[in-house]
Copies of this chain bind each other. A is one copy, B any other.
Amino acid sequence: MKKIFNLLILVVFASFTAMPQARAPYPISPEVKADNSTTFRFLAPNAKEVLLTGEFLKEKQAMTKDDKGVWSITVPNIKPDIYPYAFVVDGIQVADPNNTDIFANERFKFSLVDVKGSTPLIHALKNVPHGKVTYRLYKSNATGTTRQLLVYTPPGFDPAGSKKYPVLYLVHGGSDTEETWTKVGKANLIADNLIAEKKAVPMIIVMPYANVRPAPMGKFADDVVDNIIPFIQSNYPVLTDQPNRAIAGFSVGGGQTMEIGIMNPDKFAYVSAYAPYPETQEFRQVFGDWKPDAAKLNKQFKLFSFSVGTEDFLYESTLKNMAMFKEKGVKYESLVVPGGHTWMNCKLYLTNTLPRLFK
């Protein structure tokens, strides 16, 4: 019978591409080569113009069509990283239909290309022990709905063991979702790798969904404090004291991180804002009158930090935010690196934050 089934297997495979659904012919895209050049392909026999847009490009690039209607372009020598990209087909932006990896977002549909390079990067899937990512549903009284969050538990995590873990609450950007930090930011793999290298301590990372539209954004702060933290504390073996709780976030999530952290210094010892939004002028409006007990705050925070790229549209604003905290005597650290308001930079910020936590 084994032999029969070997034949069956071949038949199944051979006939796969002949399925009567709309799946043939399809081009392979993206095709990342050993020298980091990458070919992107898109089937559109009737399109007049197809462009490639991507965060590894300074500007959109024209693609060329072959006699089968497949548009393609090879981009040489891309610096290894994970980048969002899309096709612009006669003016309409389209995700790559042949690529499973999609940027988790509410307002656009970029695909993701992983240019691995010859040396595995910190976000690579390496041969190390892996943690788990669990999708949980919880009741949010703050928003009146059942919401989803993701929980990273580190390698070796034993839910019934005696070890209790510190917790990082990690917040996505303004139109992202609770999946963006894993699907785009590879937070789980970065944590796996830093823990394997003994650069970060084993921790639980909670990735909530931070948008509460059309309710006021501030409802998210209530959700974190009133619903999410208690949910995690009643479902996971976690340390519940202030020195074992951190929050970090990007863009609008960086603003939420600052807000939640500063409102709750008794709850969070580590507060890290990555290119936080809103811009300084708006922060000044409300922070202008704010007279913090800086000495107390500086004792409470083991880390209060800003990370930003010099090409980020929020670069100047982040500098001004920092200056404002300086005026008020609130200590902070900063990480200023090249790069823009991107998830390539987010991975770098997280990679720099994790080793600082819970030590």
Contacts and interface: CB of A to CB of B under 8 A. Distances in A.
B23 A107 contact: yes
A105 B23 CA distance: 11
Interface string A33-68: 000000000001011000000000000000000000
Contacts of A174: 16, 19, 23
Copies of this protein in the complex: 2
A11 interface: yes
A12 B94 contact: no
Interface stretch (A74-82, A130-138, A331-339): A130-138
Given A177-B100, A217-B12, A286-B5, A132 B130 contact: no
B137 A92 contact: no
A217 B7 contact: no
A106 B127 CA distance: 25
A285 interface: yes
A266 interface: no
A121 interface: no
A5 B175 contact: no
A196 interface: no
A10 interface: yes
Contacts of A91: 44, 46-47
Contacts of A294: none
A159 interface: yes
Interface in A94-139: 94-95, 97-98, 100, 102, 104-109, 125, 127, 130, 132-137
Contacts of A125: 137, 146
Interface string A124-160: 0101001011111100000000100000000000111
Contacts of A279: 15
Contact of A218 (B9, B92, B130, B277): B9
B135 A134 contact: yes
A108 B97 contact: yes
Give the size range of A's interface with the partner: 35 or more
Contact of A90 (B23, B92, B217): B92
A325 interface: no
B105 A100 contact: yes
A46 B252 CA distance: 31
A6 B93 contact: no
A47 B11 CA distance: 43
A20 B132 CA distance: 36
A1 interface: yes
A252 B16 contact: yes
A225 to B, nearest CB: 12
Return the 10 tightest CB-CB contacts between A and B, nearest first.
A9-B218, A160-B160, A8-B286, A134-B134, A130-B137, A133-B135, A13-B217, A11-B282, A89-B92, A15-B278
30 contacts: A1-B263, A7-B285, A7-B286, A8-B282, A9-B217, A15-B277, A16-B174, A16-B217, A16-B252, A19-B277, A20-B313, A22-B108, A23-B107, A23-B108, A23-B175, A44-B91, A46-B90, A46-B91, A89-B92, A92-B92, A95-B109, A97-B107, A97-B109, A98-B106, A100-B177, A125-B146, A132-B135, A133-B134, A134-B135, A135-B135
Given A5-B259, A8-B259, 14 more contacts: A4-B286, A4-B289, A5-B262, A8-B282, A11-B278, A12-B255, A12-B282, A15-B277, A22-B108, A97-B108, A100-B105, A100-B106, A133-B134, A159-B160
